[in-house]
Amino acid sequence: MTEPLAIVLLSILAGAVALDTTAALQMMFSQPLVAGTCAGLILGHPETGLLIGTALELVWVAARPVGGALFPDTGPASVVGVGLAGLLISQGIASGWAIPLGLVAAFGVAALGRLLTVKLRRLNVRLAEEALSSVERGDLGGVRRAILRAVGFRFISVAVLSAAVLVIAVPLLGRILRGVAGAEFPVLLWAAPIAAGTILAIARGGFERVLLGAGFVAGVLMVVVR
């Protein structure tokens, strides 16, 4: 499979996963474990998808899109993280570099997805007001149009965001890492996500911040001692 085709398929999957989160379906394939594994199957790297999906599932096990909660967009982020790692591995980049970078990318996309969710919710308020006006005029089709537009905006915005990240990150990181020798797999695999998880601790409680900070220090010590 060519890289452009893979990015297109991954972007479509990310959009579908985004719909499953809250907008439609809700069949739970937006969970990081499932979404990540599906992305890995698309790329022919199911083991990478399962590994990254499992790690992200553990990190975001308490993140639930309930009510008006502002949640990280975990499903699409998992697709992008696995996509980045899988495409780098396909270029010959050592998995010891590709997988941690995929995890870090997933955290970044999840944060961007949170901001995108805020924008889309504001748009949905305007769509709801337009639908109400249509009903008051006797046009019941306005409700259907509003729903379809909301679902469409959700799908397209996430698909475009995912494609943009992959289009920029894959060739850039590929060029940077192409000459790098294979890395120690366990050290880089866990040091990078622990460091990224520490960033997430800023928005969480004090106790979790201490735990993640300790994990970050432990990861740094592992790298230094190694």
For the cut 70, the answer to whether the pLDDT of residue 222 exceeds it is no
For the cut 80, the answer to whether the pLDDT of residue 44 exceeds it is yes
Helices (H), ranges, the chain: 3-18, 32-43, 46-59, 74-90, 95-136, 141-177, 185-200, 206-225
One domain, residues 190 and 176: no
One domain, residues 143 and 194: no
Residue 160's pLDDT is: 92
For the cut 70, the answer to whether the pLDDT of residue 192 exceeds it is no
Q: What is the pLDDT of residues 133-173, one digit of tens each?
A: 777 777 777 777 777 878 888 888 889 999 999 999 999 88
Q: Which amino acid, one-letter code, is at 7?
A: I
The dihedrals phi and psi of 96, each to the nearest 5 degrees, come to -65, -20
How many domains, the chain? Answer: 2
One domain, residues 100 and 17: yes
In sequence order, the 6+-apart residues with CB closer than 8 A to the CB of 183 are 94, 96, 97
Q: Quick one: which of 126, 85, 92, 90 has its CA closest to 109?
A: 85
One domain, residues 165 and 206: no
Residue 149's pLDDT is: 79
Q: Give me the helix-helix angle, 185-200 and 46-59, nearest 10°.
A: 40
One domain, residues 117 and 212: no
Domain span at residue 140 reads 3-180
